Copies of this chain bind each other. A is one copy, B any other.
Amino acid sequence: MQRYKGIIAYDGSGFSGYQVQPNKRTVQLELETALAKLHKGTQVKVTASGRTDAGVHAKGQVIHFDSPLAIPEDRWVIALNSLLPEDVSVISVEKVDHSFHARFSAVGKEYRYLLYLSDRRDPFQRNFAVQYPYSLNLQAMKEASQFFLGTHDFTSFCASNTDVEDKVRTIQTISIEWLEDRNMLILRFVGNGFLYNMVRILVGTLLEVGTGRLEPADIPKILEAKDRRLAGKTAPAHGLYLWKVYY
């Protein structure tokens, strides 16, 4: 058995998220179906760095699987892509040691969130960026984002229906970039790990700062309170991209 690490990209629009669920079209199901075809019907389990929700995209999701097949790395890419539907694509496959685990070996992740700032709908962006028609105070949003950097208990920024005990996470980088020619605001988050819905709640909260409903100085109080109700709304799924996983 050889362990393989794969980097994959998917358009989340047509999926009920990454993880297998009964009677749903998921990314994991498509990957395992393609691998089973390559293994003459034998089930091959795929493990990802983490799940993504329905509608969430990935530019650099990482998976691993074990196979008895001695296929060269670049041939794996071609073989899998020929069996996968058009909304999932394998970018690379490499041999790794058995100690590699897509989830447990990950030391950090980068997520990006795309906001299309316009009062006009754009049919070409509708699944790939969240349209936002109100003007935003980017300076206030950047100020507010600084309070999230470092190690904090992110209970206020985590979906309340989670069973994760330890809600302390470290965020290394948050950047907010405005691409004027595309009317696009790109929010980048790099951290050692993110709680369920955390990036989407961070974005929803930064939007409240951008519109003036919250002040940057409110952020430390919201972190302190450990109360989900004080943070902003969960921003929609289709603006979110799992961009990169660090090992």
Contacts and interface: CB of A to CB of B under 8 A. Distances in A.
Interface of A: 9-11, 57, 77, 81, 86-89, 91, 120-124, 126, 128
Given A81-B121, A121-B81, A126 B9 contact: no
A128 B124 contact: yes
Number of copies of this kind of chain in the complex: 2
B126 A86 contact: yes
B57 A121 contact: no
Contact of A124 (B9, B120, B122, B123): B9
Contacts of A120: 77, 81, 89, 91
Contacts of A122: 9, 89
A187 B196 CA distance: 43
Most B-side CB within 10 Å, residue of A11, A57, A81, A123:
A123
Contact of A87 (B11, B57, B123): B123
Nearest to A92: B120
A74 to B, nearest CB: 10
A89 B9 contact: no
Contacts of A128: 124
B11 A89 contact: no
A123 B88 contact: yes
Nearest to A57: B124
A130 to B, nearest CB: 13
Instruction: Give the 4 A-B CB pairs with smallest separation, nearest first.
Output: A11-B123, A89-B121, A86-B126, A87-B123
A144 to B, nearest CB: 29
